[in-house]
Structure 1
């Protein structure tokens, strides 16, 4: 039986190859040593009474020990629950009450959170664990057998009710996501990436880290995104591919190091989260770095579609074609598939879909209907089969009886050379029910004119889509994954 122990396999095949390196500290670990440490952790936790299915919460930045815990989970069936260290203690208390962990591992820099917890749970410091792992010797541990649908992670996402939902990420999802990713991105063992996304986000594990571990490649970890540090690290390590969100690519392009840094080893960047402005694509293309945009979400994949780097400009704004093992269709509200160039909700099926939400049957039944996961994302497909995100269902507003999709308006706004970022929301209107309100940031030295922006939109959009008000911001509010936080706009 396939026992899902990737690190043990590579420890046998390429034992002295560096698996993971911490960019800030320079610490690194080979596949052999990573396997030794994960076996030690497996024995330690089993001896403490952990059984398959027990939950282990981790409140820490990404590190070597976190990756060892991942390997331990593959061996034992213990479920890792990565928690956002930017939450308050009361918010973490809710997660503890929801998933009932047997233990919580906390990095000492987040001691203030640990002290604020009211829910009683056995706690271990990550630094103490790291100290133990430095001197472990090879120990025997027979990897456990468990069903492929068994949870590997519980990844908490924001809920529409105000309470987070724990998306179950299964071992089956991990395997099929890796197969999808390695095939579409042509990942090979000599590849190298740097992961900048936090471990409490699926991007910190499943966009590139776990697919590269599955291929026996090498990964760098950057605990906190810093454009200068990242650029230097990519040059030094000969990074082959990198995942980032548009904000990261823009910040790197604005860095003083950008013109002098050598990124000739890069095959391409993988970009997700939001559409990347054409100006940013041109900037990176001029440097010889190709851009590959895609789409995914915590509950499915997350690597679901991909736009080949050679079509980044030709199909600007597209999330590409469905990846090899992605089953996707666009459905209208009546449940029927829509025709080309018509808007429908992205629905997904197959081995990449979550089994559901932890301890939340209601949310599971609402999201998964007749075997299809309903994403809440609206998209259309052109005559060539390429997908374009239109908006989130909940972001759409109705103005004068017409549906307005903010993402469509935002794409037009981003075409203006003076605009860096744009976000549009619907606000109440006595006359029209709702109208658009745009928030923008502008480039250095650009002259902001609300009238000129509205005039530009009028030339490129139907009248009902044109924002009635434009607000200039010094900086867009962002959430922990680098996306624009719309909840904080107009508050």
Structure 2
């Protein structure tokens, strides 16, 4: 049974959600990870054992504990154990290079690191404290399994403040060195509860978890399962689309946010088996661009599709928009979640009226505490009483938000502003185009010009002249691409976000002129 000191308030946290499920739903599955199946009672007992072990090892509230793990029951157990004793989990991205991991470790200074053996080489340059290897095969004789299945004498339990940090998730560093986004356990729990309310989740929900938990999309959905008493079914690190589809059916998964690289190939893999498609909820992202590509999920699978917009700094999705509304408002990011308030600010922090363009700003209980050891960046983001997202957008009189693009990605050509999303949306209407994205490139006459990168569908042809003709009448002339480069694929992050900075670094040649 989990230990709650008498002096400890029953505050809102991830630990609150876990203890509630362990009390009310002790025998219900909390996590399915390969051959390991844990009930909420099991998970709570493991978290308690690890929390006591950490205290015995000298870990105190505020100490950082790094995780370099694949998703699954061990990741969840370490995260929740950190929350139970007030340690701060540092969520390391195993897609980074050793030098990048070393910089984050130097910034966070973890006292201990839980690492999967397959990632140990990534720590070669890092000072990451005591190392605990976690075998992803759940070896019963492995160090981690022995720790979480033992019984420990009750330690002297620390008193913990309600707004204590739970994790640090480092941003992608699109504007320089990555920043450690510090999130309170109460913020993560608020986000999870808002997610559940908006999606109508119940304890019968079974999440197909394929988004990495070091990323906020994956974290928010697993947290939502703790909030509703549902089950997180973790796909294997090496599973391909076919294996993940098999897992979806085998485990009767009802909800997922499988990014397009995984879910779209399912169309050709008999996704409905014996007349059944268990999936009833599918969450997409803000950059969906062309909602018609999700039509088969709604029509053929009878699953409810939503899109949305969010950030690491607000614990995930801050808005949602249902599929019918996507069709009616194809550029909208939707309405705010129940726990979030949204507005548009001018550069001085004043709220703008409907229809005016400015910076999207958010506030509510899921907003970050700040950036780790970066007071200047924290003040810039939070100094006006709102989280200033760095994203440009508008809101209409009905409260619908519209994303125009990142402020730092805004293209200024001849004194005019061009939002990349506007240009991308025109390409989204072209049937020959599989993918497209634009960025600003230096231009001697106009300061900057629009350059587009286009991926054609197999067997399709489209010339630069034809593309230019398609743009006429769609958007203003100064917004049309001045250069067009045909490529095989666009650089995107694991959840499909276009990496425009990489595009703008590519050379421009006269033969690309449109």
TM-score by shorter chain over 0.5 = yes
Q: Hey, what's the Cα distance between the residues in 2 that align with 1:323 and 1:440?
A: 34
1:398-423 deviation line (CA, Å, top 9, x unaligned): 11111000111101111111111111
The number of residue pairs the alignment matches comes to 486
Secondary structure at the aligned position of 1:385 is classed as coil
- Identify the match of residue 284 of structure 1 among 290, 297, 300: 297
Q: Hey, what's the Cα distance between the residues in 1 that align with 2:274 and 2:310?
A: 30
Residue 46 of structure 1: aligned partner: 55
TM-score normalised per structure 1:
0.93
Compute the displacement of 1:12 (Å): 2.1
Q: Hey, what's the Cα distance between the residues in 2 that align with 1:363 and 1:263?
A: 49
Unaligned runs of 5+ in 1: none
Contact 1:245–1:274 under 8 Å retained in 2: no
Contact 1:477–1:484 under 8 Å retained in 2: yes
Compute the displacement of 1:479 (Å): 2.0
Q: Map 1:421-440; keep pairs closer than 5 Å.
A: 421-440=435-454
Q: Hey, what's the Cα distance between the residues in 2 that align with 1:238 and 1:340?
A: 43
Q: Map 1:265-276; keep pairs closer than 5 Å.
A: 265-276=278-289
Q: Hey, what's the Cα distance between the residues in 2 that align with 1:222 and 1:59?
A: 17
Compute the displacement of 1:171 (Å): 1.3
Contact 2:65–2:82 under 8 Å retained in 1: no
Compute the displacement of 1:259 (Å): 6.4
Contact 1:198–1:223 under 8 Å retained in 2: no
- Identify the match of residue 133 of structure 2 among 106, 111, 125: 125
- Where has structure 1 moved over 6 Å in runs of 4 or more? none
Unaligned runs of 5+ in 2: 1-8, 136-141, 507-514
Distance 1:144 1:97, change over 3 A: same
- Identify the match of residue 344 of structure 1 among 347, 358, 376: 358
Q: Map 1:57-136; keep pairs closer than 5 Å.
A: 57-114=66-123, 116-119=124-127, 121-127=129-135, 128-133=142-147, 135-136=149-150
Q: Map 1:143-154; keep pairs closer than 5 Å.
A: 144-154=158-168
Contact 2:283–2:305 under 8 Å retained in 1: yes
Q: Hey, what's the Cα distance between the residues in 1 that align with 2:282 and 2:305?
A: 5
- Identify the match of residue 36 of structure 2 among 11, 14, 27: 27
2:235 is equivalent to residue 222 of structure 1: yes
Residue 319 of structure 1: aligned partner: 333
Which stretch of structure 1 is more off in the superposition, 477-486 or 404-413?
A: 477-486
Contact 2:440–2:449 under 8 Å retained in 1: yes
Contact 2:166–2:185 under 8 Å retained in 1: yes
Residue 187 of structure 1: aligned partner: 201
Compute the displacement of 1:157 (Å): 0.6
Q: Map 1:155-166; keep pairs closer than 5 Å.
A: 155-166=169-180
Q: Hey, what's the Cα distance between the residues in 1 that align with 2:472 and 2:274?
A: 41
Contact 2:426–2:474 under 8 Å retained in 1: yes
2:226 is equivalent to residue 213 of structure 1: yes
Contact 1:232–1:261 under 8 Å retained in 2: no
Q: Map 1:242-261; keep pairs closer than 5 Å.
A: 242-253=256-267, 255-258=268-271
Secondary structure at the aligned position of 1:188 is classed as coil
CA RMSD of aligned residues (A): 2.2
Q: Hey, what's the Cα distance between the residues in 1 that align with 2:234 and 2:153?
A: 27
Distance 1:137 1:84, change over 3 A: same
Contact 2:404–2:421 under 8 Å retained in 1: yes
